[in-house]
């Protein structure tokens, strides 16, 4: 298992307990290894949050076999989000000299907090604008135009998120925008991007995401 971000699996890294890590993703960096492990594959997970994943950082891959605790571990709301954070942190390591392990931890925590803040700020701002636009008895034509602008704004944000479908799905849910609304009100090019991304997910994956409750990072 290998992709454009050089994610590998337990077997490729000669991890002894391959059964436990059979669903895990491994990313080598200059300072250690990221491991993204779906919580449901470990036997320790919340039944109400089936998509969560552990994001761990080990100083050396041998630490796993030697049962050493990871340098960093955090429960993330989905595998996609955890992988995205690991990839951005790896870019940070590659683009900066004299990086230390404490810097890695700070960068991960900062990435998580920034995602949460940006999401919440956008959600609050767009919802306020949307609700206020219908408070003055506007004509039907104006209401439709404003609704179209609102939906387009949400869709552009989801498109910009890219492959992080868990975050995109949560944004669509919070903003009360579904596929039919996007098709009706969003620009054709924006909708096309979503059709090839978040709306193109396999039915079982889509169902799993819809079952996720809350937004946890």
Instruction: State the pTM of this model.
Output: 0.57
Mean pLDDT, rounded, for 5-12: 87
Residue with tokens 């049962």: 67
- Local confidence band at 212 (pLDDT 50, 70, 90 cut-offs): very low
- Report the alpha-carbon distance of residue 16 to residue 78 in Å, rounded: 25
More confident residue, 211 or 60: 60
pLDDT band at 214 (very low <50, low <70, confident <90, very high): very low
Instruction: State the average pLDDT for the chain.
Output: 78
d(CA 142, CA 182) in angstroms, rounded, equals: 18
pLDDT tops 90 at residue 48: no
Which pair of tokens denotes residue 208? 């799993």
Q: Determine the average pLDDT of the residues in 157-184.
A: 80
More confidently predicted of 96 and 215: 96
* Mean pLDDT, rounded, for 45-63: 80
Q: Say whether pLDDT at 142 is over 90.
A: no
Could you give the 3-state DSSP secondary structure of residue 14?
A: coil
The tally of CA atoms less than 13 A away on the side-chain side of residue 174 is 23
What distance in Å separates the CA atoms of residue 201 and residue 196, rounded to the nearest whole number? 9
The arrangement of strands across the sheet holding 25-28 comes to 25-28, 33-38, 53-58, 72-76
The pLDDT of residue 84 is 87
State which H helix or E strand residue 8 sits in. none
In angstroms, the CA 82 to CA 51 distance is 11
35-44 per-position pLDDT tens digit: 999 887 776 6
Calculated CA dihedral for residues 117, 156, 166, 174, nearest 10 degrees: 70
Q: Choose the weakest-confidence range: 82-91, 113-122, 185-194.
A: 113-122
Higher pLDDT, 197 or 106: 106
The DSSP output letter for 41 is G
Residue 213 reports pLDDT greater than 80:
no
């Amino acid at each position: 298992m290998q992709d454009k971000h050089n994610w590998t699996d337990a077997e490729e890294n000669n991890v002894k307990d391959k059964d436990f890590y059979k669903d895990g993703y491994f990313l080598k960096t200059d300072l250690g290894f990221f491991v993204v492990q779906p919580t449901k594959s470990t036997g320790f997970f919340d039944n109400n949050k089936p998509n969560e994943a552990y994001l761990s950082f080990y100083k050396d891959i041998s630490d796993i076999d030697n049962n050493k605790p990871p340098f960093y571990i955090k429960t993330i709301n989905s595998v996609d989000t955890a992988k995205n954070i690991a990839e951005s942190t790896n870019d940070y390591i590659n683009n900066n000299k004299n990086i230390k392990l404490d810097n890695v931890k700070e960068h991960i925590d900062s990435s998580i907090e920034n995602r949460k803040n940006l999401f919440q700020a956008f959600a609050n701002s767009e919802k306020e604008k949307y609700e206020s636009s219908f408070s003055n008895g506007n004509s039907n034509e104006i209401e439709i135009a404003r609704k179209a602008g609102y939906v387009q704004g949400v869709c552009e944000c989801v498109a910009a998120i890219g492959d992080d479908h868990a975050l995109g799905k949560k944004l669509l849910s919070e903003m009360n925008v579904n596929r039919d609304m996007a098709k009706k009100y969003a620009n054709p090019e924006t909708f096309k991007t979503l059709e090839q991304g978040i709306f193109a997910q396999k039915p079982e994956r889509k169902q799993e995401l819809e079952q996720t409750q809350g937004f946890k990072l």
